[in-house]
Amino acid sequence: MELFDPTPCRWLFAMTHPDDEIAIVAWMYHLVQHGSEVWISWTHHTPIREAEGRRVAERLGIPQERLFFHGAADGNVCDELNRLRDPFARMMESVKPDRVVTTAFEQGHLDHDSTNWLVNQTYDRPIFEIPLYYSYLTRIPRINRFADPTGQSVRDVPLEEQAIKLEIAKSYPSQAIWKNLLFAELRARLMGEGSLVKTERMRVQKATDFNKVALPEPLASRVAASERWQRWLRALQAT
């Protein structure tokens, strides 16, 4: 299966927070420019963050009626899984997407893992995932790279789309994303990993057991012993 397939179809990008889409926004822009029908879902929003997300969608050429805001509390999405499952199911039924992209289940943020779980509960075709960062125990998390790159597809972002990506990264003034991305870009270059702006990554969903940490050792054992992971397991048990 070709992941970065430009053939026009219906794509749903199920993000968690308005600004998470920056990891794949050049591809979203490319899809719109080449005739695909693009929808965006955000699991969390506040009035300010919703306004930012709507402006970004408008810049990308995505109609406002193709946006979903589910209103979950930032940092507490895992406590709302039961409430959110039906709205996600209704969204999938309404959109009938050909392809769904969401954030990777790899213990970077409990909210990201929660959105991944919700997508897996409500969409029964192959799910694509993108890297944001991992892990929530790492002082300086790895950004825009999968913990295990096996199976990933890497797209080189054309110069025009790099400019769009940088423009969009500045479109969330309520957040610190621009400063964080500048730091991450510098760090990636110093480590010889290349520019974060110049590539985007996707893979078919890897994790199938949501009761198991989806990270390589020794990080997996550290995460499994953490309170955040225990909180995640409690949230799953409550569904």
- pLDDT single digits (tens) 108-136: 999 999 999 999 999 999 999 999 999 99
Q: Taking the alpha carbons of 110, 112, 118, 124 in that order, is the dihedral positive or negative?
A: negative
To the nearest whole percent, how much of the chain has pLDDT over 90?
83
Structural domain contains residue 5: no
On average, the pLDDT of the chain sits at: 93
Domain CATH for 220: 3.40.50.10320
d(CA 215, CA 150): 12
Domain containing residue 128: 10-237
> Do the beta carbons of residue 12 and residue 99 sit within 8 Å?
yes
Most confident of 29-33, 176-180, 193-197: 29-33
Q: How confident is the model at residue 139 (pLDDT cuts 50, 70, 90)?
A: confident
Q: Taking Cα atoms as reference points, which of 35, 36, 45, 46 lies closest to residue 12?
A: 36
pTM of the model: 0.94
Counting the structural domains of the chain, the total is 1
**Cβ neighbourhood burial of 45 (10 Å; 0-12, 13-18, 19+):** buried
**Per-residue pLDDT, 236:** 98
Structural domain contains residue 97: yes
> Do the beta carbons of residue 99 and residue 8 sit within 8 Å?
no
**Per-residue pLDDT, 143:** 84
Going by their DSSP bridges, the two strands 127-130 and 99-103 should be labelled as parallel
Structural domain contains residue 167: yes
Phi, psi torsion values for 154, nearest 5 degrees: -115, 125
| 64-109 residue pLDDT tens | 999 999 999 999 999 999 999 999 999 999 999 999 999 999 999 9
**Per-residue pLDDT, 77:** 98
**H-type alpha helices, the chain:** 25-33, 47-60, 81-95, 110-122, 159-169, 177-190, 219-224, 227-237
